[in-house]
Amino acid sequence: MYSQTERDLLHKIARDSILSGLEQGTPLTIKASDYPEVLQKKQASFVTLNINHNLRGCIGTLSAYRSLVDDIAHNAHAAAFSDPRFPALTVHEYQQLDYHISVLSDTSPMQFSSEQDLLTQIRPQIDGLILEDNGRRGTFLPSVWEQLPKTEDFWTHLKHKAGLSADHWSKTLQVNRYTVESF
Write down the domain spans for the chain: 4-104, 108-178
Which band of pLDDT confidence, cut at 50, 70 and 90, is reported for residue 146? very high
Q: What is the mean pLDDT of residues 37-61?
A: 97
Task: Identify the pLDDT of residue 55.
Answer: 96
d(CA 18, CA 28): 8
Separation of alpha carbons 68 and 1, rounded Å: 13
Residue type, 21: G
HEC per residue, 118-155? HHHHCCCCCCEEEEEECCEEEEECHHHHHCCCCHHHHH
Side by side, the strands of the sheet bearing 174-178 are: 108-109, 174-178, 128-133, 136-140
Pick one of 1.10.1200.10, 3.90.550.10, 3.40.50.300, 3.30.1490.150 as the CATH number of 108-178: 3.30.1490.150
CATH number of 4-104: 3.30.700.20
pLDDT computed for residue 16 by the predictor: 98
pLDDT digits (tens, 9 = 90+) for 92-125: 999 999 999 999 999 999 999 999 999 999 999 9
Residues 71/61, Cβ–Cβ less than 8 Å:
yes
What angle in degrees, to the nearest 10, is found between the helix axes of 4-24 and 68-81? 50
Average pLDDT, the chain: 97
